[in-house]
Structure 1
Amino acid sequence: MNSKEAAEMFGLTTDTVRYYERVGVIPPIKRDKNGYRVYTTRDLNWIYLAKSLRHAGVSIESLIEFATLSQLGGNVEQAQKQILQDQLQEITGKLEEMTKTRDLLQYKIDTYDEHIAKFKTGEVTSDNVEELWKVNHKK
């Protein structure tokens, strides 16, 4: 598979895939006798992993560290696994925070009309509004 096909497969540009290789987010890609990159399944797995982790907010630096370890050989598995575990923990924290924010937004949408109506009638004023941080936003 060539660069264009590999990029299209994952909805990336060829520039992005080449950038990933150039900075070390993915290991170097083997080339044919004419110097063209030839992507193997292993290479495609690296691209997919890099794309997925980047979309989840994982830093380029963490991806470079992970890919660099894979090229060192020796006993690097534990270090690589630790990078993955650290990233999973970070993403889990982000997901929990996003879930709370989603619940707050849903609560605000669900109660919006009622809230505005209470403001218009004077039942609720700036001095007696609910304390959002104390409200259970889950249904």
Structure 2
Amino acid sequence: MNIKEAAEITGISIDNLRYYERIGLIPKVPRNASGIREYDKTSLEWIAFSMRFKKAGMSLDSIREYVQLALAGEATKEARREILSETKESLEEKLRELQESLDVINYKLAIYDKTCEPVTTKLVKTWKTSR
């Protein structure tokens, strides 16, 4: 299939598919005699594989490194495991930060009518009178 069809199937723009191939986020896509990309089942699987990592929050650099290591073979297994571990740690930190933010919002909601709304009302009133 051509790049337009691959873009439709994957939901990734043509420009991004070209970019991802150029930077090594996905392996080189086979080309026909005219040099036109011909996406096959394996190409689509690599795209899906890389996009799962992207969706999980892995940086493009880390995805590229992981893909290149995977293409290099079994000897890179531990290096790939390290990339996954680093990504896991990063996601866990983001989860902690999000949980802290959620805790603040939940607290503010719990005290909204008694505390937050009167403060907001006062700030707005003060702002309007100072203008």
Is TM-score (shorter-chain normalized) higher than 0.5?
yes
Where does structure 1 lack aligned partners over 5 or more consecutive residues?
121-139
Partner SS, residue 53 of structure 1: helix
* Greater fraction of residues in helix: 2
Per-residue CA deviations over 1:79-113 (Å, capped at 9, x if unaligned) read 21221222122112212221221232233233212
Deviation (angstroms), 1:48: 2.2
Q: What amino acid is aligned across from residue 65 of structure 1 in structure 2?
A: E
Per-residue CA deviations over 1:106-128 (Å, capped at 9, x if unaligned) read 332332122146659xxxxxxxx
Q: What amino acid is aligned across from residue 6 of structure 1 in structure 2?
A: A
Where does structure 2 lack aligned partners over 5 or more consecutive residues?
121-131
Q: Which moved more, 1:110-119 or 1:72-81?
A: 110-119
Deviation (angstroms), 1:77: 1.9
Q: Under a length normalisation based on structure 1, what TM-score does the superposition of the two structures give?
A: 0.71
Per-residue CA deviations over 1:30-57 (Å, capped at 9, x if unaligned) read 1123322222333223222333333443
Identical amino acids, percent of aligned pairs? 35
After TM superposition, where is structure 1 displaced by more than 4 Å over at least 4 residues in a row? 117-120
Q: What amino acid is aligned across from residue 73 of structure 1 in structure 2?
A: G
Distance across 2 between alignment mates of 1:31 and 1:117: 62
1:31 and 2:7 equivalent?
no
Distance across 1 between alignment mates of 2:50 and 2:99: 24
Number of aligned residues: 120
**Considering only aligned residues, what root-mean-square deviation do their CA atoms show, in Å?**
2.4
1:67 and 2:62 equivalent?
no
